[in-house]
Amino acid sequence: MDILSLFVVVPVITILALFFSKGLKQSRMIAMIGSLVQLAMAINLVFAYVKERAVNDAIMVFTRDLVWFKEFNIHYAIGVDGISVALLTLTAIVVLAGVFISWMMDDLPKEFFVSLIVLATGVYGFFISIDLFTMFVFYEIAVIPMYLLIGIWGTGPKEHSAMKLTLMLMGASAVLLVGILGIYFNSNADGGALTFNILEIAKVNIPFEAQKLFFPLTFIGFAVLGALFPFHTWSPDGHASAPTAVSMLHAGVLMKLGGYGVFRVAMFLLPEGAMDWSWFFIILSATGVIYGALGAVRQNDLKYINAYSSVSHLGMVLFALLMLNKTAWNGAILQSLSHGFMTALFFALIGMIYGRTHTRDVHKLGGLLKVIPFISVVYVIAGMASLGLPGFSGFVAEMNIFVGAFQHTDMFHRVATIVSISAIVVTAVYILRVVGLMLMGPVKNEEFKNLPTVRWYEVTGILLLLIPITALGVAPLWISDMIMESIQPFIQGVIQ
């Protein structure tokens, strides 16, 4: 068994073990052990990758290729570069934190952890695939458990949100499927065999007409998951209704699939299409950035605020990718990572606050800093990271994005960049508004005075997420280097 396939095999074993478990105690234990093993594997992979990279300068390392359906030339092909390693680590951390946050999930615990880990399996598989078909399979496996996760364990209008989210994402994957088939049937343009292998297709010069036709399909197919305006509407409803761990995993990890797919598939394989269409999607993503930020200012529900903030931050990722240069792409990946940790942390904290106060309305909360200081302080830290304060991960990411964006000297890009940058100011507004209303001031409700303090599993979950945020902010260079050298082969097609 190779080091990468384990990322799929271990969750599958965990799922099988969960099927035979009984009750909350057993199932959360199994889920935790499975996720811990996964995290250990991810950390091990980081070191193995650094070691391997020193001697191996292929685009993807640890590759493995098994023929699956030979008639279609479908392979189970896997491999990683610095970007996928970073995202795999992100996933492992968020999943483990999610398990800790769901420590007290008493309604159908077995089923909850099974669904959660099925979702994780899909995400792991997606990040290690270098075959379009395999990738697509994992993509769908990652999306579909959301329906049950939100539907069964959610709150509020959960049936509606779950259905809306599932249909929009599956609809997007349907569009993506046409795009993938288009790429597949043009992969013999240079006279070779039809193939789904990303690295093989990248060598082929797909005709410009086909690129123009299939780029938007592929881009939209992925970007809906990355909350591309105006297809972001599933995200606020979905996040608001989802249980805490699911919001964490979804905003923290699943939405990253969108940006990852965009640059790994759409831009890498259809670079001319990307250049041809970039103006259009820049408009959409810049609108998303500012729209999401403004939307967050207007909301009173903590989860909605964070969901809109995710729309804004992930719009920034798409925006950076569309800038089509190395610095901005580096920023995009860093932003994905930083947002992954940060937003997962936010949702975890919101879950804890909601679990104690039974409300998510910022106007009904107040003075929480006095009663639950630990949670409140971490909330402030996460907020600072979110608005891009130096010393946290958000700053490094946004800095890179806008430096990259300013390398374009024409009017159109300038305007779009300035519009996007202005969202940072709005971000400060909604973060500080929440901090002011919810944490500062007098304690609004007498009942809040005796809120229970944090439990050990909550602290563990928080620390798991908090450490990377600070680490990324204080010492971004090593990971930035890892990403930079991996971006090189991908950006080449676009630069030429």
Partner 1 sequence: MSFSSLLIMRHEMLLLAMILLLIAGEIFIPKHKKSSLVHLAIFLFGIQTAVGFLSLDTETLFGGSFRTNDMIHLFKNILNVGVLILLLQSADWITDKLIGAEKGTEFFILLFSSLLGMYFMISAGDFLMFYIGLELSTLPVAALVAYDAGKRKSSEAGVKMILSAALASGISLFGISLLYASTGSIYFDVMAIEMTSSNLSILGFVLFFAGLGFKISLAPFHFWTADVYEGAPISIASYLSVISKGAAVFILLILMFTVMRPLIDAWQNMLYAIAILTMTIGNIFALRQKNMKRFLAYSSIAQAGFILLGLIAGTQLGASSIIYFVLIYIFSNLAVFGVVQAISNKTGLEHMDDYNGFYRTNPMLSMVMLLGLFSLAGIPPAAGFFGKFFLYTAAASQGYYLLVFLAVVNVTISLYYYLIVLRAMFIRRSEQPIPSIKNSLYMRLGLALTVIGILAIGIYSPIYDYIHSISSLLN
Nearest distance in Å: CB 7, partner 1 = 16
Indicate the DSSP class of residue 299.
-
Report which of 189, 224, 191, 193 is spatially closest to residue 207, judged by C-alpha positions. 189
* C-alpha–C-alpha distance, residues 18 and 111, integer Å: 8
- Site size for partner 1 (CB under 8 A): 31
CA dist list (Å): 189 to 157, 206, 210, 213, 492 = 49, 6, 10, 15, 20
Q: How far is CA 167 from the centre of its chain?
A: 19
18 three-state secondary structure: helix
Smallest separation (angstroms) from partner 1 to the CB of 15: 12
Distance CA 146, CA 154 (A): 10
Q: Establish if 174 lies at the interface with partner 1 (CB under 8 A).
A: yes
**String of contacts with partner 1 for each residue 376-415, x by CB under 8 A:** ----------------------------------------
In angstroms, give the least distance from the CB of 11 to partner 1: 13
280 near partner 1, rule: CB under 8 A: no
Q: Is 152 in the site for partner 1 (CB under 8 A)?
A: yes
Provide, rounded to whole angstroms, the least separation between the CB of residue 142 and partner 1. Answer: 10
Tell me, what DSSP letter sits at residue 156?
A: S
Return the number of the residue (165 or 290) whose C-beta is nearest partner 1: 165
Binds partner 1 (CB under 8 A): choice among 148, 242, 269, 342: 148
For partner 1, the closer CB: 71 or 410? 71
Task: Confirm or reject binding of residue 147 to partner 1 (CB under 8 A).
Answer: yes
Rounded to whole angstroms, the Cα distance separating 447 from 277 reads 55
Q: Closest Cα partner for 318 from 408, 191, 231, 233?
A: 231
Please tell me the distance from the alpha carbon of residue 341 to that of residue 469, in angstroms, as a whole number: 6
Instruction: Give the residue with the Cβ less far from partner 1, 145 or 367.
Output: 145
Q: Judged by CB under 8 A, does residue 65 bind partner 1?
A: no
Q: How far is the CB of 141 from partner 1 (least distance, A)?
A: 6
Six token digits for residue 428: 């400060």
**CA pair distance 27, 396, nearest whole angstrom:** 39
Of the two residues 97 and 117, which places its CB atom closer to partner 1 in the complex?
A: 117
CB of 180 to partner 1, least distance (A): 10
Rule CB under 8 A: which residues touch partner 1? 68-72, 108, 133, 137, 140-141, 144, 147-148, 151-152, 158-159, 162-163, 166-167, 170-171, 174-175, 177-178, 181-182, 184-185
